[in-house]
Structure 1
Amino acid sequence: MARRGKKPKGRPINGWVILDKPKGMGSTDAVAKLKRLYFAQKTGHAGTLDPLASGMLPIAFGDATKTVPFVMDGRKVYRFTVRWGAETTTDDTEGTVAQSSELRPSEADIRLAMEDYVGEISQVPPTFSAIKIAGERAYDLAREGEVVEIAARTVSVHRLELKALPDAETAVFEAECGKGTYVRAIARDLGRDLGCYGHVIDLRRVSVGGFTEDDMVTLDDLEAAADEGRETLDAESVEAGATARVVDYGPLDEYLINPEAALSDLYEVMLSEEQAGRVLSGNSVLLRGRDAPASCDEAFATGHGRLIALGSIDQGQFHPRRVFGGRG
């Protein structure tokens, strides 16, 4: 007789929480903390953010984890401050100085050098990065003292702006870039081009895919929402060392964003109740209406007030590839 599978621990919630990650916290730790707060069955995140960086870390729950690749492939916007005069081993404040210069660039020099960093550019990722070399993370190899050589790669920088020059030592930039772009490498290479060297002293991610700063929520806000839903303990229980549990997740769930919010760049197919039932069973459906496309490589279907499936459109029919909440 086949043994029944273990019931998953936690709540089967679906959606995104767009965390404003504080400095000093790793992405894995942030995901683990939110999983505990929400008592969620399944979690994931879209794009690692270094502990020294702050800002947007989209965290997915349940069905939203199936849309993570669409967010990771989206554009990202970073604001970062570069200090001139020194290049470090990590291209930020965590490393030691590798080379230095007394030269400081003018605004005109900076703006001229920036022109080479927009479009498709060749970039060597930082030695201390999550790039894998023979199955090992580059930063693990570097920390063990190994000489790490990473090949140059082509990345996309859609926009690079000089936002401020607080003093002769520092410059504040904003970059909109594609997947796999390292702004630490932009700072390093700009410094080399300008002959003054440079490294990042502050880094904040403000946008990922279709998510913006308005979507972000702090850990303090989430903790306050969790406290709002905690049970009240009597004095005897507190004396015994009991911990108050969250019994009402309503305040926390107010911060959940629907899974389909990650798919804003895709065509949306709105299904009738009958069509939704067919798609949930894995069947294709014919699209009606003169505005419906005849073909589309990536699309998503909604019905019953929620995300139903990811798929494609061919010859006027929506073909589900991944179903949410149905079979498969």
Structure 2
Amino acid sequence: MHAPRTRVQRRPVHGVLLLDKPLGLSSNQALQKAKWLLRAEKAGHTGTLDPLATGVLPLCFGAATKFSQLHLDADKSYEATARLGVKTSTGDAEGDVIVQRTVHVTPEDLARVETQFTGPLRQVPPMHSALKKDGKALYEYAREGIEVERAARDVVIHKLKLTEAVEKATIKILATVSKGTYIRTLGEDIGEALGCGAHLTSLRRVATGDFDTSQCITLEALEAMSEEERLAQLLPAEALVAGHSRVTLGAEDAARFLSGLRRRGQWPDASEVAVFGSEPAAFLGTAHVAANELIPGRLLNPIEIQQILLNATPCETTP
């Protein structure tokens, strides 16, 4: 007989874990592993990374999940390598080779393509992606051999640097891009512009918004820690709104704001505001200011605030 599985006792955990996602795991698999290690009740991530990609994956727990959309919308930076002269069915090393061409690429060619692909672009999402059509992911259609029509989307390549790698017929791609940009598709399009085709052989997200790999922890390191050390790795929920304007309210105004009421004050108009209480000092949520009115957006509830204050650690200081 098998011994009964030990049931994990879940608990309220609030904050942001900056994970360096490992190769081979889906974003959801990495999330579930971290959630189990923290014994967290509620968790979500801020945008998927393919199993073949590694790097920055902010994981949100508890109250922080209310603000995860902010980093879904954030610009992201990637380092990738692309093999020239070989196109695959998936645009990466997992697919079958469908075209092979001779490669004749000069530094001048790379500079020309850098300019061509920097700025606003229209990009057709790949079939091997998690985008959904009629409730079904595109990659599921692709596995069945079905090609689905996809509308082109507007994206922006803010920065692009292409360099020859040590390996023959391989280039390195450094790119900072807007949300919704597929680096696999960018690699394929760059290959076509170079006249030889290409597919990605590696992909690493090195930054999302203000977060980068230097702030991240691996699952292996997290697993080796004690529970207290794991909790100490969490950034507070307000780390997700570090770029917002800041408003601090007194106790009475804070209570009314948390109940969804607008507050009046001498604040300049602002589309993104992080709101804090002063007594006690606590993050309350987001808002915007119009005509001297502070208008509530996403709010923490009093129970979440109490749990955060009770479990505050030295790393959980407001900015």
TM range (shorter): 0.7 to 0.9
Alignment of 1:43 with 2:43, yes or no, is yes
Structure 1 residue 135, shift from structure 2 partner:
2.5
Alignment of 1:252 with 2:226, yes or no, is no
CA RMSD of aligned residues (A): 1.7
Matches of 1:81 and 1:306, distance apart in 2 = 44
SS of residue paired to 2:92:
coil
Moved more, 279-288 or 253-262: 279-288
Contact kept, 8 Å, 2:86 with 2:196, in 1: the verdict is yes
Matches of 2:150 and 2:295, distance apart in 1 = 41
Amino acid at match of 1:253: L
Q: Match for residue 322 of structure 1?
A: 298
SS of residue paired to 1:190:
helix
Q: Match for residue 278 of structure 1?
A: 256
Structure 1 residue 298, shift from structure 2 partner:
2.5
Alignment of 1:62 with 2:40, yes or no, is no
Are the structure 2 counterparts of residues 165 and 107 from structure 1 closer, same or farther at C-alpha, using a change threshold of 3 Å?
farther
Q: Match for residue 169 of structure 1?
A: 169
Amino acid at match of 1:302: F
SS of residue paired to 1:94:
coil
Correspondence 1:195-210 to 2 at 5 A: 195-210=195-210
Q: Render the CA deviation track for 1:11-65: whole Å, top value 9, x for unaligned.
A: 1111100100110011111111111111111100001000000111110000100
Structure 1 residue 78, shift from structure 2 partner:
0.6
Q: Match for residue 121 of structure 2?
A: 121
SS of residue paired to 1:92:
coil
Q: Match for residue 264 of structure 1?
A: 242
Q: Match for residue 101 of structure 1?
A: 101
Matches of 1:204 and 1:272, distance apart in 2 = 44
**Count of matched residue pairs:** 294
Structure 1 residue 324, shift from structure 2 partner:
0.5
Structure 1 residue 327, shift from structure 2 partner:
8.2
Q: Stretches of 4+ moved more than 3 A in 1?
A: none
Amino acid at match of 2:89: T
Matches of 2:178 and 2:142, distance apart in 1 = 25
Contact kept, 8 Å, 1:128 with 1:142, in 2: the verdict is yes
Structure 1 residue 164, shift from structure 2 partner:
4.9
TM-score relative to the length of structure 1: 0.85
Alignment of 1:212 with 2:212, yes or no, is yes
Contact kept, 8 Å, 2:67 with 2:298, in 1: the verdict is no
Amino acid at match of 1:116: Q
Q: Match for residue 139 of structure 2?
A: 139
Moved more, 201-210 or 273-282: 273-282
Q: Match for residue 90 of structure 1?
A: 90
Are the structure 2 counterparts of residues 169 and 317 from structure 1 closer, same or farther at C-alpha, using a change threshold of 3 Å?
same
Contact kept, 8 Å, 1:282 with 1:327, in 2: the verdict is no
Matches of 1:124 and 1:27, distance apart in 2 = 23
Moved more, 72-81 or 307-316: 307-316
Contact kept, 8 Å, 2:110 with 2:163, in 1: the verdict is no
SS of residue paired to 1:103:
coil
Q: Match for residue 75 of structure 1?
A: 75
Are the structure 2 counterparts of residues 149 and 98 from structure 1 closer, same or farther at C-alpha, using a change threshold of 3 Å?
farther
Matches of 1:321 and 1:172, distance apart in 2 = 41
Moved more, 131-140 or 196-205: 131-140
Contact kept, 8 Å, 1:209 with 1:262, in 2: the verdict is no
Q: Match for residue 236 of structure 1?
A: none
Q: Render the CA deviation track for 1:236-271: whole Å, top value 9, x for unaligned.
A: xxxxxxxxxxxxx32111100011111123212122
SS of residue paired to 1:112:
helix
Q: Match for residue 28 of structure 2?
A: 28
Matches of 2:282 and 2:75, distance apart in 1 = 25
Amino acid at match of 1:185: T
SS of residue paired to 2:166:
strand
Structure 1 residue 67, shift from structure 2 partner:
0.5
Q: Match for residue 179 of structure 2?
A: 179
Contact kept, 8 Å, 1:104 with 1:168, in 2: the verdict is no
Q: Match for residue 241 of structure 1?
A: none
Q: Match for residue 307 of structure 1?
A: 283
Contact kept, 8 Å, 1:280 with 1:327, in 2: the verdict is no
Matches of 2:292 and 2:274, distance apart in 1 = 14
Structure 1 residue 174, shift from structure 2 partner:
0.9
Contact kept, 8 Å, 2:265 with 2:294, in 1: the verdict is yes
Amino acid at match of 2:260: G
SS of residue paired to 1:217:
coil
SS of residue paired to 2:165:
strand
* Percent of residue pairs bearing the same amino acid type: 37
Amino acid at match of 2:229: P
Q: Render the CA deviation track for 1:159-204: whole Å, top value 9, x for unaligned.
A: 1112553244111111111111001111101111111110100100
Matches of 1:261 and 1:251, distance apart in 2 = 19
Q: Render the CA deviation track for 1:123-143: whole Å, top value 9, x for unaligned.
A: 112121112223321100000
Matches of 1:306 and 1:159, distance apart in 2 = 37
TM-score relative to the length of structure 2: 0.87
